Structure 1
């Protein structure tokens, strides 16, 4: 989805978020992906007093809505943490259970997120039989993020964003999907030069070797739902028979990686 969140208004961002989940569920969504730090609308400068606990009422509201509607929710928040808040994305299952917590690893330590605590790794969780992972905004600009998730078994990677968007960033996501044979779904805030929430398949050639466009859907700059579906059967077939991802890696030769 691609909507504005109220700035530094926890009650407002929860209420609007619940309404959006209801609208998406009514349209047949399996999982609803929100942009980065929806709890505060990624208001700048980041006011850490708006950090909210993962076990608090803001998250509980999304969990209750997910369970009521039987829909998955991937929502991002400024989360309380003893060493300083984290930029956290939670994947919530259809019964309202917490499936995955991802704390943004590549925080903007040089700028807006200097007061935040960076995450320490990339994990996956299973939703509807699909292995999901998350890389948050700046995480996607490092090839190691998607590679770590691929090696952990991710089939689909969710990317919440709060950033200006351009062809360079779009091509980054295309490359991450292709080289790791993972599907990618990206959500961003609307606005002039922003928006363009999108989804990419790793399937880039047909059976005759002709190139295919990996872009499944792309929003414009307006607030909107951005519905799409991944063909997991086709993606899994592609992963079984093609040569990218992990099948021909040579980690013994990657001596400069640390």
Structure 2
């Protein structure tokens, strides 16, 4: 059985203050390294805070910008993989993105949120690609917050060969129950481990609800942080013996789904 140590950085970033948030990130990475972690996952838009609104043009960076350059240096120094959320600019478009950086400080890839929630669409463009990133830890797929509520995305990552799904989150009240159930469901229905890292704190009327979890292939939470702030680590099996009576992927009826997808719904 292959397993890795995964850390959750359930923290409270400061809105609009990338310098402060990078300090939080550095401290968290150091803590995870002390806990012998292989990978640490941060919340959605952690480097800027979530409700940046009209400040997006001033806070967004490219994938080679100064903030991610600093994160790369930290990953190399502490020999740890990191998944971190940031506001990305590319060719004049803004995205809610998550970067996967390896333990050598190399950017393995960037995922752009494909399902935008509520007012996010006023400031950001939805992503159009679903990636699985090969790494020395295994094949990693990434989703961001509202994405977890769409089972098609996690299923597509599984079909593409993902062995682990990492989710950066900025989930808020009153939707804690949604993500608590959906994250476990995405793991169970795809027989794949899920790591979901949410944040705490408040921004305006938004109150973020935590509940970060490390979930195994059976939908069991191996680590659940609830409302606790800090960095915690869990052993997560990646390749486990699956129940042959289930075999959800192999037993799909694609002939039915493809026909249904062509129907028009109103």
Q: What is the TM-score normalised by the length of structure 2? A: 0.86
Kindly provide the CA deviation profile for residues 79-121 of structure 1, in whole angstroms up to 9, marking residues without a partner as x.
112242111101101101111210000012x413422111112
Kindly provide the CA deviation profile for residues 147-173 of structure 1, in whole angstroms up to 9, marking residues without a partner as x.
110111111100111012523321111
What residue number does 1:238 align with?
Answer: 242
Quick one: which of 61, 73, 79 aligns to 1:64?
A: 73
Structure 1: 5+ residue stretches without partners: 205-213
Kindly provide the CA deviation profile for residues 26-51 of structure 1, in whole angstroms up to 9, marking residues without a partner as x.
11111010000011111343521211
The reply on whether 1:202 has 2:217 as its aligned counterpart is yes
Quick one: which of 154, 159, 162 aligns to 1:151?
A: 159
Provide runs of 4+ in structure 1 moved above 3 Å.
Answer: none
Q: Is the 8 A contact 2:164 2:238 kept in 1?
A: no
The reply on whether 1:251 has 2:254 as its aligned counterpart is yes
- The verdict on how the C-alpha distance between 1:46 and 1:127 changes in structure 2, with shifts beyond 3 A counting, is farther
Q: Tell me the secondary structure at the aligned position of residue 7 of structure 1.
A: coil
Q: How does 1:129-148 map to 2 (within 5 A)?
A: 129-148=137-156
* Alpha-carbon distance in 1 for matches of 2:162, 2:126: 21
Q: How does 1:33-48 map to 2 (within 5 A)?
A: 33-45=41-53, 47-48=55-56
Q: Is the 8 A contact 1:84 1:115 kept in 2?
A: no
* Alpha-carbon distance in 2 for matches of 1:125, 1:51: 23
Q: How does 1:5-20 map to 2 (within 5 A)?
A: 5-20=13-28
Bigger relative CO (Cα 8 Å, ≥ 6 apart)? 2
* Alpha-carbon distance in 2 for matches of 1:232, 1:84: 35
CA-CA distance at 1:245 after TM superposition = 3.6
CA-CA distance at 1:242 after TM superposition = 5.0
Q: Tell me the secondary structure at the aligned position of residue 228 of structure 1.
A: strand
Q: Is the 8 A contact 2:16 2:59 kept in 1?
A: yes
Q: Tell me the secondary structure at the aligned position of residue 139 of structure 1.
A: helix
Q: How does 1:168-207 map to 2 (within 5 A)?
A: 168-191=178-201, 194-203=209-218
CA-CA distance at 1:136 after TM superposition = 0.3
* Alpha-carbon distance in 1 for matches of 2:25, 2:133: 23
Q: What is the TM-score normalised by the length of structure 1? A: 0.89
Q: Tell me the secondary structure at the aligned position of residue 28 of structure 2.
A: helix
- The verdict on how the C-alpha distance between 1:32 and 1:129 changes in structure 2, with shifts beyond 3 A counting, is closer
Q: Is the 8 A contact 1:83 1:117 kept in 2?
A: no
CA-CA distance at 1:221 after TM superposition = 1.2
Kindly provide the CA deviation profile for residues 206-227 of structure 1, in whole angstroms up to 9, marking residues without a partner as x.
xxxxxxxx12111121311121
- The verdict on how the C-alpha distance between 1:193 and 1:13 changes in structure 2, with shifts beyond 3 A counting, is closer
